[in-house]
Amino acid sequence: MSKLTDYGLVLLTHMAQEGSPAVRTANELAERSRVPLPTVSKILKELSKAGIVVSYRGRRGGYSLSRPPEQISVAAVVEALEGPVALTECSIAPGSCSLEPVCLAKGHWGPISRAIQRTLQRLPLSALGPRPVRVVRPPPVESTPTLREATP
């Protein structure tokens, strides 16, 4: 996964947070995520073209998710920013690799790529947000009697 896709998922995760404004500007997203503004603008443009975010013009303009985060898959985001999900070129377009005629692993890349695609397709954007952290305190350590305490 490229850095651009990583940043795209970070931005969308910020947009998907409960209680966040429905429409966010590129500046707001850049500040909250610490992703540089030119990169944020580039990513939002691509995500808008793919229909993952909606852009609004004007004084109160900005970007919002096109649908609830539960309905946006991580696969859709990856495909919007990188193209088809695949580990190797030959799993997308047969004949694209010069080693293909002698490659012993060739037959395995397609099924592996499809498994990853299915997993990312089932993973909604809402699953990437912060989770409540449950602090589990270890039980108190019982002191064991020392040698002096144990002898009468």
pLDDT digits over 87-125, tens only? 777 667 677 778 878 888 777 888 888 888 898 999 999
Q: Strand 53-56 vs strand 62-65: parallel, antiparallel, or unpaired?
A: antiparallel
* Confidence label for 133 from pLDDT (cuts 50, 70 and 90): very low
**Would you kindly state where each structural domain of the chain is located, as residue ranges?**
3-128
Q: What is the CATH number that goes with domain 3-128?
A: 1.10.10.10
pLDDT digits over 106-115, tens only? 778 888 888 8
Residue 11: the pLDDT is 95
- pTM value? 0.75
